[in-house]
Amino acid sequence: MAYNLLKGKKGIIFGALDENSIAWKTAERIHEEGGTFVLTNAPIALRMGQIDELAKKTDSEVIPADATSEEDLENLVAKSTEILGGKLDFVLHAIGMSVNVRKGRAYTDEKYDFTTKGWDISALSFHKVLQTLHKADAMNEWGSIVALTYMAAQRVFPDYNDMADNKAYLESVARSFGYFFGKDKKVRVNTISQSPTATTAGQGVKGFDGFINYAEKMSPLGNATALECADYTVTLFSDLTKKVTMQNLFHDGGFSNTGVSQEVMEQFAK
Active site residues: 150, 160
Contact in structure between 258 and 220 (CB atoms under 8 Å): yes
**Residues in CB range of 45: below 8 A, 6 or more apart:** 15, 17, 51
From 103, 139, 127, select the one nearest 11 (Cα to Cα): 139
Residue 182 labelled as part of a binding site: no
Q: What is the DSSP letter of 38?
A: E
Report d(CA 38, CA 14) in Å as an integer: 9
Residue 183 labelled as part of a binding site: no
Got the DSSP string for 109-147? Answer: G--HHHHHHHHIIIIIHHHHHHHHHHHTT-EEEEEEEEE
Question: String of b and e for 48-70 (b: at least 16 CB within 10 Å)?
Answer: ebebeebbeebebeebbbbbbee
Residue 83 labelled as part of a binding site: no
Residue 167 labelled as part of a binding site: yes
Residue 21 labelled as part of a binding site: yes
| Helix/strand/coil for 188 | strand
Annotation: binding site for NAD(+):
15, 21-22, 95, 167
